[in-house]
Amino acid sequence: MRYFNLLDGDSVPALGLGTWKLAGDDARVTVQTAIGLGYRHIDCAPIYENEPDIGRALEFSLRGGEVSREKLWVTSKLWNDSHRADDVRPALERTLHDLQLDYLDLYLMHWPVAHKPGVSRPDDGTGFLSLEDVPLGETWTAMRDRRDAGLCRHIGVANFSTSKLQSLIDETGTVPAVNQVEAHPFLQQRELLEFCEENKILLTAYSPLGSRDRPDDMKQADEPSLFDHPTVQSIAERHDVSSASVLIAWAIQRGTIVIPKASSEAHLRENLQAAELELAESEMQDLESLDRGFRYVDGTFWEMPGGPYTAANLWD
Ligand code: NAP
């Protein structure tokens, strides 16, 4: 397994397991199987509503000695309803309780979007708080305090644009360890990646396979398929691997952490093996030519009449 170095010299496994959409006991079994196969990095979030199930898997694997806590990398995220400074600590403590851990390796601000406390998923614009009401710096400073108190080893953000990263750094002086954003050959995020590299922020690629199992109401008509693209397929054929393997290898080879979600044991195995696959420079270039700025997770679900967020001000 390849590892990438963080600004403070610590290292993170380049491949992690995504856990969005793993429900109930499937989440427990999948995470337990993944750790048994050799996964050492699990990407969680309370909004995935499976942290108690994942906690059972972690407890089983750690207690049974399959892996030591030091060798496992666990990420979780602060949900949008807990952005106010006083709400960060209880949210993190709830996640630690559910995951049955004393600390996280990485705690991310899930979105640069704030909800009113207690509003998990707003029905209309009145469920939101604006970034003037709760500045991102307020949330970030509270997260930093929790890191300094030892509840998480690193803090980072997700779904942050270059301009939001720059403002956060200017305002607080604290550089996020990681920015987790959607990335794959159709959305390569080159400018953002360059900014992150310059500032020693690791970029994590989410939905690296195109998130085909996400809810229908988050899908657009006629979405392009990464798996079926002829360039991806021909590289896959050349290496006698799947399209998914090519996408995972591409992400790691360009220096991004990648967190494909999988539930079947066959997919889990395949994705782990893909982390060892090496693509030729010419294949990397062919994949680079596929960029078209296409988002599967496009953020329009935060746009509600009377609310403060739009896809345009989200991805600024
Ligand atoms: P994804 O990883 O792009 O795609 C998941 C889909 O790919 C599932 O249907 C899975 O099937 C399938 N798959 C996995 N391995 C495969 C293989 N080898 N061959 C064929 N199909 C395969 O989607 P995602 O869940 O949206 O993204 C990954 C993770 O990123 C999430 O789970 C979550 O942890 C994180 N994420 C974060 C954010 C954020 O806002 N920070 C947003 C989105 C996602 P099976 O399940 O049947 O194996």
User: In the predicted model, what is the mean pLDDT of residues 40-56?
Assistant: 98
Query: 84, 81, 83, 142: which is closest to 117 by C-alpha?
Result: 81
pLDDT tens digits for 62-103?
Answer: 999 999 999 999 999 999 999 999 999 999 999 999 999 999
User: In the predicted model, what is the mean pLDDT of residues 218-236?
Assistant: 97
- pLDDT confidence of 309, banded at 50, 70, 90? very high
Residue with tokens 């080893």: 153
User: In the predicted model, what is the mean pLDDT of residues 20-40?
Assistant: 98
What pLDDT was estimated at residue 302? 97
pLDDT tens digits for 159-185?
Answer: 999 999 999 999 999 999 999 999 999
Residue ranges of E strands in the chain = 3-5, 11-13, 17-18, 41-43, 73-78, 104-109, 114-115, 128-129, 152-158, 178-182, 202-206, 257-258
pLDDT tens digits for 244-303?
Answer: 999 999 999 999 999 999 999 999 999 999 999 999 999 999 999 999 999 999 999 999
**If you take atom 16 of ligand 1, which residue's CA is the nearest one?**
267
Query: 106, 88, 79: which is closest to 8 by C-alpha?
Result: 106
- pLDDT confidence of 126, banded at 50, 70, 90? very high
- The mean pLDDT of the chain is 97
Give the ligand 1 atom nearest the CA of 262: 48
**If you take atom 4 of ligand 1, which residue's CA is the nearest one?**
211
From the candidates 39, 48, 107, 206, give the one annotated as an active-site residue.
48
What pLDDT was estimated at residue 68? 98
Amino acid at 130: S
Record the tokens describing residue 121, joined without a space: 């998923």
Task: Verify whether ligand 1 is closer than 6 Å to residue 264 (CB atom).
Answer: yes
pTM: 0.98
Record the tokens describing residue 236, joined without a space: 């896959």
Q: What percent of the chain has pLDDT over 90?
A: 99
What pLDDT was estimated at residue 204? 98
Calpha distance 35→30 (Å, rounded): 9
What pLDDT was estimated at residue 142? 98
What pLDDT was estimated at residue 139? 98
- pLDDT confidence of 61, banded at 50, 70, 90? very high
Record the tokens describing residue 112, joined without a space: 């640069």
Calpha distance 184→248 (Å, rounded): 9
Q: How far is the CA of 210 from the centre of ligand 1 (A)?
A: 7
Q: What percent of the chain has pLDDT over 70?
A: 100
107 is catalytic: no
Could you tell me if residue 138 is left (phi over 0), alpha (psi between -120 and 50 degrees) or otherwise beta?
Answer: alpha
What pLDDT was estimated at residue 235? 98
Helix (H, G, I), strand (E, B) or coil at 310: coil
What pLDDT was estimated at residue 39? 98
Calpha distance 149→130 (Å, rounded): 28
Give the DSSP H/E element, type plus range, for residue 198: helix 190-198
Side-chain-facing half-sphere of 219: CA atoms under 13 Å: 12
Record the tokens describing residue 216, joined without a space: 């229908």
Pocket test for ligand 1, best of 43, 80, 227, 267 (most atoms within 8 A of CB): 267
